[in-house]
Structure 1
Amino acid sequence: MLQMNIDHSSRPLLTGFAGAIAMAAAMGFGRFFYTPILPGMMGGIPLSAADAGFIAAGNFAGYLAGAILSAYGWAAGRERQVALGGLLATAILLAAMAATTSVFAFTVIRFLAGLASALAMIFTSSIVLPHAVGRDNVNVLHFGGVGAGIALSSALVLGVNAVAGDGAHGWQANWLAGAAIVIVISAAVGWLLPRPIFGGGSAIEPPLRWRLPLVLLTASYGLFGFGYVITATFLVTIARMGDAGPIVEFLAWFLTGTAAAVSLVLWRPVVRGFGLTTAYAAALGLQAVGVLGSVLLPPTAGALVGGLLLGATFMVVTAYGLQIARALSPDSPRRALAFMTAAFGTGQIIGPLVAGWVAERSGSFTLPTILAAAVLVVCVLLALPVAPQRSQ
Structure 2
Amino acid sequence: MLQDYLSVTQAGILASLNFFGYLSGALFSISLKNIQKKVFYFRLGIILSILTALILGTTHSEILWIVSRVLAGFGSAMILLVGASLVMLKLNLEFKTKAMGIHFSGIGFAIIISELVSQMVLENNSWGEAWLVLAFMAFIFSFYIFHILSFDKEAHKAALQKESNKSIFSPYVILLILAYLTEGVGFVVQGTFLPEIVNSLKGLEGKGNLAWLIVGIAGVPSSILWMRLAHRFNSVDVIIFALSLQVIGILLPTLSTNIYVNLLSAALYGSTFIGLVALFMNLGGQISKHNPVILMGSMTAAYGIGQVVAPLYSVALIAHFGNFDTTLYLTAFIVFLGVVLMLLTKSDTVIK
Q: Same fold (TM over 0.5)?
A: yes
Asked whether the equivalents of residues 239 and 303 of structure 1 are also in contact (C-alpha less than 8 Å), the reply is yes
2:210 corresponds in structure 1 to: 251
2:108 corresponds in structure 1 to: 147
Secondary structure of the structure 2 residue equivalent to 1:198: helix
140, 157, 164: which one aligns with 1:184: 140
Moved more, 108-117 or 295-304: 295-304
Going from structure 1 to structure 2, the CA distance change for 1:315 and 1:238 (only over 3 Å counts) comes to: same
2:227 and 2:40 map into 1 onto residues whose CA distance is 34
2:337 counterpart of 1:345? no
257, 265, 269: which one aligns with 1:306: 265
1:321 corresponds in structure 2 to: 280
2:2 and 2:314 map into 1 onto residues whose CA distance is 15
Shift of 1:79: 4.1
Asked whether the equivalents of residues 155 and 250 of structure 1 are also in contact (C-alpha less than 8 Å), the reply is no
Moved more, 191-200 or 377-386: 191-200
1:206 and 1:267 map into 2 onto residues whose CA distance is 28
- Alignment map for 1:97-108 (pairs within 5 Å): 97-108=56-67
Shift of 1:230: 0.2
1:211 and 1:102 map into 2 onto residues whose CA distance is 46
1:303 and 1:216 map into 2 onto residues whose CA distance is 32
Shift of 1:132: 2.1
2:158 counterpart of 1:200? yes
Asked whether the equivalents of residues 244 and 300 of structure 1 are also in contact (C-alpha less than 8 Å), the reply is yes
Asked whether the equivalents of residues 83 and 124 of structure 1 are also in contact (C-alpha less than 8 Å), the reply is yes
1:27 corresponds in structure 2 to: none
Letter matched to residue 113 of structure 1: A
The number of aligned residues is 345
Going from structure 1 to structure 2, the CA distance change for 1:348 and 1:213 (only over 3 Å counts) comes to: same
2:48 counterpart of 1:89? yes
Letter matched to residue 139 of structure 1: M
Shift of 1:195: 4.3
Identify unmatched segments of 5+ residues in structure 2: none
Moved more, 192-201 or 84-93: 192-201
2:139 and 2:64 map into 1 onto residues whose CA distance is 22
Letter matched to residue 142 of structure 2: S
Secondary structure of the structure 2 residue equivalent to 1:44: coil
Asked whether the equivalents of residues 29 and 293 of structure 2 are also in contact (C-alpha less than 8 Å), the reply is no
2:89 counterpart of 1:130? yes
Letter matched to residue 333 of structure 2: A
1:220 corresponds in structure 2 to: 179
Identity of aligned residues (%): 26
Going from structure 1 to structure 2, the CA distance change for 1:195 and 1:335 (only over 3 Å counts) comes to: closer
User: 1:146-176: per-residue Cα shift (whole Å, max 9, x none)?
Assistant: 1110111111122122222xxxxx2222212
2:296 and 2:39 map into 1 onto residues whose CA distance is 22
1:239 corresponds in structure 2 to: 198
Shift of 1:145: 0.9
358, 363, 380: which one aligns with 2:322: 363
Going from structure 1 to structure 2, the CA distance change for 1:234 and 1:323 (only over 3 Å counts) comes to: same
**Structure having greater relative contact order (Cα 8 Å, sep ≥ 6):** 2
188, 193, 198: which one aligns with 1:229: 188
TM-score by length of 1: 0.79
Going from structure 1 to structure 2, the CA distance change for 1:302 and 1:107 (only over 3 Å counts) comes to: farther
Shift of 1:372: 0.6
1:29 corresponds in structure 2 to: none
1:287 corresponds in structure 2 to: 246
Moved more, 48-57 or 236-245: 236-245
Going from structure 1 to structure 2, the CA distance change for 1:57 and 1:194 (only over 3 Å counts) comes to: same
Letter matched to residue 42 of structure 1: L
1:173 corresponds in structure 2 to: 129
Letter matched to residue 172 of structure 1: G
User: 1:227-253: per-residue Cα shift (whole Å, max 9, x none)?
Assistant: 22101111112122235254x333322
Shift of 1:273: 5.3
Shift of 1:185: 1.1
User: 1:279-320: per-residue Cα shift (whole Å, max 9, x none)?
Assistant: 011100000111111343215234411221111111222232
Going from structure 1 to structure 2, the CA distance change for 1:337 and 1:123 (only over 3 Å counts) comes to: closer
Shift of 1:328: 5.6
Going from structure 1 to structure 2, the CA distance change for 1:150 and 1:199 (only over 3 Å counts) comes to: farther
Going from structure 1 to structure 2, the CA distance change for 1:92 and 1:333 (only over 3 Å counts) comes to: closer
Letter matched to residue 158 of structure 2: G
